[in-house]
């Protein structure tokens, strides 16, 4: 296999034996980008020159005996994560020319670990969407079928990983934006516990839900990347002052006696029968590995999507108030200050972003605040309590990640409500603040990937990774590659 097709661990092994240089790895990844990017369109910005410099630096450090864990490993970053001196657009016209003067904490940690930045990946504008079709620039295509969407909003990152246009990537997940596209692209994606990873330098969408996480070709790589990016950060007051375990430590341990909760509310009408079949088969597989399935109930699941869209839009309307044509990015000509503000926002934001700003402004307005925002916060607590109760009887919860495999481009773009349902299985996890991971668990007859989601207790990513690894190693799904 070409180097670009390998995972982080395979490359680290070869690198540490001196079999491959950072320059060679980067050549292979960029060779792959040159061949397939015109079909996939995963990236907003390719940073080839920067990458060459970073790879050369990695090779110098390795030669001097100062190599680090990610020295020479090419990683793609979702374009809502700030990279100093490199455009960070959120796939929005309003930030098309924004070049951050500072580095996000996650990318600072990757730099310290020696990584090589391949480029910034496409997303739904400001991470609002489930298909990457809301990007203000272009739509990314699913490497398994380029007539279909890759999922979203981190569709650029998951498509880049699936197409071997990078070795791994970072995404962000507010209601499913790492896990849902990971599932639709056949890769591994994790949303860590809220507070596990610093949000400093992540452009805010809905601050109480947003979390950055790894997107990788296998579970071990996910654990390794999580090790690098996790931990308390004085620059983000919501990052938790909690010790970070070595997430690799439990990988490879057996899962005998692990209680896996299967919530009855997650096998709903309208779910694709092939998805249901694959996920049920995965439960049986886990059982054959010694896990114990238990039926559980998350009774407030029905309210999750509505609750999320009140809270996420409320927070978004407040967070996006800062884009006024003065402080960042795009500015329209105007007669006076007010006219300039209004035209900049009218021309700079796309339709979905405007829809959410309007919804959120409404739900926060005096007179409606109690009926919508406050009520949604109360339901959020009920949803969180559901999980806490379930975790008395189960160590993990297992669900499908997405009710359907990748849909066709355009299929849901003029029906926002249909699009909102794409995250029906992932949204509760953000509302509750618990960690979730999506891993490949099968393919449809049309050769489209299917993913399963494992959900864990707050700050118990280690158990998620242990179970995900045990399942992954007993199956072959993660080894398949799309024919591009
Ligand atoms: N699809 C959901 C939304 O549109 C979630 C997006 C996300 O996680 N960033 O808001």
Active site residue 153: yes
Q: Residues 409-415: what's their mean pLDDT?
A: 90
- The yes-or-no verdict on residue 224 having pLDDT over 90 is yes
pLDDT of residue 267: 87
The residue range of the domain holding 140 is 3-257+395-479
The answer to whether residue 374 is domain-embedded is no
The answer to whether residue 182 is domain-embedded is yes
Q: What are phi and psi of 20, to 5 degrees?
A: -150, 145
pLDDT of residue 139: 97
Distance in Å, CA 172 to ligand 1 centroid: 9
Q: What are phi and psi of 179, to 5 degrees?
A: -70, -45
Torsional sign, CA 35, 39, 42, 44: positive
Q: Which residues pair with 212 in a beta bridge?
A: 172
Report pLDDT digits (tens) over 151-188: 999 999 999 999 999 999 999 999 999 999 999 999 99
Give the atom of ligand 1 at the shortest distance from the alpha carbon of 130: 1
- The yes-or-no verdict on residue 421 having pLDDT over 90 is no
The answer to whether residue 293 is domain-embedded is no
420 — pLDDT class (breaks 50, 70, 90):
confident
What share of the chain has pLDDT > 70, as a percent? 100
What share of the chain has pLDDT > 90, as a percent? 96
Give the atom of ligand 1 at the shortest distance from the alpha carbon of 430: 8
Task: Name the DSSP letter for residue 404.
Answer: S
Distance in Å, CA 304 to ligand 1 centroid: 13
β pairing state of 74-78 and 168-173: parallel
Q: What are phi and psi of 386, to 5 degrees?
A: -55, -50
Active site residue 375: no
Give the atom of ligand 1 at the shortest distance from the alpha carbon of 312: 10
Distance in Å, CA 206 to ligand 1 centroid: 9
Residue 173, CA atoms < 13 Å, CB-side half-sphere: 37
Whether 105 lines ligand 1, by a CB cut-off of 6 Å, is: no
Between CA 370 and CA 387 the distance in angstroms is 25
Between CA 100 and CA 431 the distance in angstroms is 29
- The yes-or-no verdict on residue 416 having pLDDT over 90 is no
414 — pLDDT class (breaks 50, 70, 90):
confident
The answer to whether residue 241 is domain-embedded is yes
**Bond before 164 cis per omega within 30 degrees:** no
Distance in Å, CA 122 to ligand 1 centroid: 14
Give the atom of ligand 1 at the shortest distance from the alpha carbon of 129: 4
* Residue 242: CATH number of its domain: 3.90.1300.10
Whether 127 lines ligand 1, by a CB cut-off of 6 Å, is: yes
Whether 47 lines ligand 1, by a CB cut-off of 6 Å, is: no
The answer to whether residue 332 is domain-embedded is no
pLDDT of residue 275: 96
413 — pLDDT class (breaks 50, 70, 90):
confident
| CA-atom Rg of the chain in angstroms | 21
The catalytic position among 4, 22, 78, 317 is 78
Whether 128 lines ligand 1, by a CB cut-off of 6 Å, is: yes
pLDDT of residue 397: 98
The answer to whether residue 469 is domain-embedded is yes
The answer to whether residue 310 is domain-embedded is no
221 — pLDDT class (breaks 50, 70, 90):
very high
Distance in Å, CA 153 to ligand 1 centroid: 6
pLDDT of residue 418: 80
Which residue's CA is the nearest one to ligand 1's atom 4?
129
pLDDT of residue 415: 85
Query: pTM of the prediction?
Result: 0.98
Burial class of residue 297, CB neighbours in 10 A (0-12, 13-18, 19+): middle
Between CA 188 and CA 162 the distance in angstroms is 10
DSSP per-residue letters across 73-98 = -EEEEETTB-BTTB---TT-GGGTT-
The total domain count for the chain is 1
Between CA 295 and CA 410 the distance in angstroms is 37
The answer to whether residue 322 is domain-embedded is no
Whether 33 lines ligand 1, by a CB cut-off of 6 Å, is: no
Q: Residues 257-263: what's their mean pLDDT?
A: 98
Distance in Å, CA 124 to ligand 1 centroid: 9
The catalytic position among 177, 198, 344, 402 is 177
Average pLDDT, the chain: 97
Nearest Cα to 434, choosing from 235, 270, 194?
Answer: 194
């Amino acid at each position: 296999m070409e180097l670009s097709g390998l995972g982080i661990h395979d490359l680290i092994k070869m690198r540490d034996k001196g079999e491959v240089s950072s320059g060679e790895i980067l050549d292979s990844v960029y060779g792959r980008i040159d061949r397939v990017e015109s079909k996939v369109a995963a990236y907003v910005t390719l940073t080839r020159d920067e990458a060459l410099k970073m790879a050369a630096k990695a090779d110098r450090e390795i030669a001097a005996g100062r190599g680090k864990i990610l020295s020479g490993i090419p990683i793609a970053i979702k374009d809502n994560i700030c990279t100093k001196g490199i455009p960070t657009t959120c796939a929005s016209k309003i930030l098309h020319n924004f070049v951050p003067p500072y580095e996000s904490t996650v990318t600072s940690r990757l730099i310290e670990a020696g990584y090589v930045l391949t480029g910034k990946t496409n997303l739904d504008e400001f991470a609002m969407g489930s298909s990457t079709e809301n990007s203000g620039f272009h739509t990314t295509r699913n490497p398994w079928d380029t007539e279909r969407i890759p999922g979203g909003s981190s569709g650029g990152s998951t498509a880049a990983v699936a197409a071997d246009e990078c070795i791994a990537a970072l995404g962000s997940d507010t209601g499913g934006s790492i896990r849902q596209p990971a599932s639709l692209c056949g890769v591994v994606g994790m949303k860590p516990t809220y507070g596990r990873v610093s949000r400093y330098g992540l452009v805010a969408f809905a601050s109480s839900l947003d979390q950055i996480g790894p997107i990788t070709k296998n579970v071990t790589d996910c654990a390794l990347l999580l090790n690098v990016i996790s931990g308390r950060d004085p620059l983000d007051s919501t990052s938790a002052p909690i010790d970070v375990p070595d997430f690799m430590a439990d990988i490879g341990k057996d899962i005998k006696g692990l209680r896996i909760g299967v919530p009855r509310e997650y096998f709903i009408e309208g779910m694709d029968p092939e998805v249901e079949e694959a996920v049920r088969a995965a439960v049986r597989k886990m059982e054959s590995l010694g896990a114990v399935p238990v039926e559980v109930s998350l009774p407030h699941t029905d309210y999750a999507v509505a609750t999320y869209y009140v809270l996420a839009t409320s927070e978004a309307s407040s967070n996006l108030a800062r884009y006024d044509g003065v402080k960042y990015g795009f500015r329209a000509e105007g007669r006076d200050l007010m006219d300039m503000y209004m035209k900049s926002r009218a021309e700079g934001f796309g339709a979905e972003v405007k829809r959410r700003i309007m919804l959120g402004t409404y739900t926060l307005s005096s007179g409606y605040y109690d009926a919508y925002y406050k009520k949604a916060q109360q339901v959020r607590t009920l949803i969180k309590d559901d999980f806490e109760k379930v975790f008395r009887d189960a160590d993990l919860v297992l669900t499908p990640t997405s009710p359907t495999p990748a849909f066709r481009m355009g299929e849901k773009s003029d029906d926002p409500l249909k699009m909102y349902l794409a995250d029906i299985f992932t949204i509760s996890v953000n509302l509750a603040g618990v960690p979730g991971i999506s891993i490949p668990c099968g393919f449809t007859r049309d050769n489209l990937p299917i993913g399963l989601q494992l959900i864990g207790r707050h700050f118990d990513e280690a158990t998620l990774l242990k179970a995900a690894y045990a399942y992954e190693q007993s199956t072959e799904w993660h080894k398949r590659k799309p024919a591009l």
